[in-house]
Structure 1
C-alpha cells in the first residue's frame, strides 16, 4: 500500500495482565506497518503496567505507554486520543486478538479522509462457543444514522451478529 496513513492504536488497559501477552503477539503480527501503539494504563493493580512498560520500551518510536488514575475505559481512550499522532485512530481492547491483516483491511476499506471503518471480530460467549464475524465490508450510511445503526444493531453490524447467533444456535 503506497502512502500509508499513520494509524494510532489506542489500548485502554485495566488489570489485563493475563491477556496482554497474547494481545502483544497480535499487535506485533499485524501486516500494516505505519502504526503507533498508545497503551493507557487506567490504574491497574495487577502486573499490567509493568508488562506494558516493558513492551513499549522495545520500540519507543512506535509504542507509547501512558499511566493514569482509574477512570474507566472511555477516559483512558480520551487520554490516548490526546497522545495520538496518527492520521486515523483505532481503538483496540487489551484482551483483543486480531487477524494479522485487520489494520490493513480497515485502512483499505476507508471510503474517504472522513471515513469510519467498523469491523467485527470473533465473538466468544460465556459457554465457550464462538463465531468468527471478522469483516471489513464496505458499507455506506448517512452520518446521522450511523451511530443509531451501529448501537441499535441495524445494518451490516446487526446482520453479522444475527448471523453469528444463528451459527452458534445450530452447533
Structure 2
C-alpha cells in the first residue's frame, strides 16, 4: 500500500525570547490510507506541533509534508482537526458551530436543506442533537469537545487529526 500522509525530514524551530527552540528535528513518518496512528509522548515533546503541521496550520522550518500525493501548503477540507480546546465560537449555537464548517466545505454544491441535514446528522452522531440550540457557555466541557468532533466529522475529511480529544472528559 502507498503512503497517504508522509512527513519527510520535517523540523520545526520556533524563535523565542531566549533564542531558537527546536520543537521537532528530522521527523519522518508514513501513514497508509485507512491506518489509525497514535502519537504518544510526554507533554511538550512536539505531538501538537506535528499535528498542526499536518493540518496545514503551520509550515515546517524544513522538510516536506504530503497528503494524497500533494504537498500540504495550508489547511484544507481533506484534513480536519479536533483541538485540545474545543475552539467553538461562543456567539454561535452548537448547531451553528458545526454548520459553519459544513457550509464552508459543501455550500457551493449542496442545498441549504442538505447542509442542515448534514449538520444535524453530525450532532446526532456524537449524541448532541438535544443540545443543538445551546451556546457553548450552556454546555459542559465534554459536550463542547463533542461539538468539535461533530464539526470535524461533518466535513467528511480524508484525514482526521485529533489532539487529545478526550482530555476534557478524562480530568
Q: Please, what TM-score do these two structures have when normalized by structure 1?
A: 0.26
Q: Which has the higher strand share?
A: 2
Q: Please, what TM-score do these two structures have when normalized by structure 2?
A: 0.26
